[in-house]
Amino acid sequence: MGGIATAVVKTTLAIFGGNAQGFVSVTIGLLILMVVLLLVNVTGNKVFAFFNNLATIGKLAALITTIIVGFIVVMMTGHSHFNDINQLVDVSQLNTSTFVMAVIAAFYAFVGFESVASGAEDMKAPEKNLPRAIPLAILIIAVIYISIIAVIMMINPTAVLTSKHVVSLVTVFESPIISNIILYGALISMVGISIAGSFSTPRILEAIANENQVPAWFKQRTKYDFPFNAFITTFLVALIIPMAFQYNMVSIIVLSSISRFIQFIVVPIGVMMFYYNRSREEVLPNVYKNKFTDVILPIIALILTVMLLVKFDWKGQFSIVTPHHIEPNYFAITAMVIGYVVLPLLLFIANQKRRHV
């Protein structure tokens, strides 16, 4: 939530001539954005659904327009720059760490699917619609992203690699009309993702509270049926973490993806425990089980996830590069330790005490 919110603020500032790199300006922008998201959520699910659907239509229209125009340009000119990438990238510098970074960055395109079900309580017929919607959405996103990358590689890969623009795809096309469609489409897309995140993320904390793993204060709702306490908590986290990485988008994206990888260590284990009837909680009866999807695929996913985490450049990610030397980013290291060690340990201890009361 904090990563994409930072991107929204930086893009907005860049479009309207603000200081997109200023610490104070980005912080103020984040505060304003969080207040707007709060108002959208507080007014109820109908208002939320309207803005979320509007943002989805806007971003898909921009992406599809870019893909269609790109392929038309290639067909009309009959020239492709696809092979130019061989001269632009020094393949001798490629190693396992750079490959892992590339995979993690690509994985960011699919961030959010792991928390879709957290808002099932507020959805219509989630038991029927979610199993259909999730794989269909993943397929659509994969097709769109692969098509966008193909268009970039064929038209102007140099522009993307050398661009300093907040939305690098803008520099691919020379037409100002197409560039503006991409720019504002990207902004609409990020706003839509922020709206969706503001809906699902607080409900994850609320779901944990419903399981009595955190204080019941987090599951309290307003008269508009909105989890206000959970929203405020996630808002503070979404503000503090980007600040810890000095609003550096590359670092925030990588951190966000890593957090999902850590989650995906737990998920395959949970699926296998479900298959072998080792679940501690009550599960639905007569559920169809498949050894390939419930055991073999989770084992492969677990192995690949561990490999990516082992090969990741942890030292480089949690360091600050200055003109004279490299120093540890203690703020970011502290945030990671608190988020992934201290808080889970405290919640585990508190949960164990509740069970023995």
Q: What is the pLDDT of residues 115-152, one digit of tens each?
A: 666 666 667 777 777 778 888 888 888 888 888 888 88
d(CA 166, CA 21): 10
Q: What is the pLDDT of residue 296?
A: 92
- pLDDT over 70 at 166, yes or no: no
Of the candidate ranges 60-69, 108-117, 296-305, the one whose mean pLDDT is the lowest = 108-117
Model confidence at 91, pLDDT cuts 50, 70, 90, reads low
- pLDDT over 80 at 285, yes or no: no
Map tokens 């340009």 to a residue.
Answer: 73
| Contact between residue 11 and residue 167 where contact means Cβ atoms under 8 Å apart | yes
* Residue 326: its H or E element: strand 326-328
- Give the CA radius of gyration of the chain: 22
Percent of the chain whose predicted confidence (pLDDT) is above 90: 1
More confident of the two residues 270 and 338? 270
| Contact between residue 138 and residue 144 where contact means Cβ atoms under 8 Å apart | no
Model confidence at 52, pLDDT cuts 50, 70, 90, reads confident
pTM greater than 0.85: no
> Mean of the pLDDT values across residues 84-106?
70
